[in-house]
Amino acid sequence: MAFQLRTDKKETENKTIRFPLPLIEKIESEIKGQSVSFSSFVIQACEYALKELKKDE
């Protein structure tokens, strides 16, 4: 299944994470013009990665 961006919101907690600048630029380029925040993209990407890891086990 391909990665699909969602615009839904959930209960959250703040965490500080450092991203390499080129990665930030790539993410911002991908979400430009969409109703998805940087944080939402990162959360969805992490959820997708975790789901795929379980499939590989």
User: What ranges do the domains of the chain cover?
Assistant: 21-56
pTM, two decimal places: 0.73
11-56 pLDDT tens trace? 778 899 999 999 999 999 999 999 999 998 999 999 999 999 988 7
Of 25 and 3, which is predicted with more confidence? 25
pLDDT attached to residue 38 = 95
Beta strands, E only, the chain: none
pLDDT attached to residue 51 = 92
Q: Tell me: pLDDT of 4 over 90.
A: no
On the CB side of 37, how many CA atoms lie within 13 Å of its CA?
Answer: 5
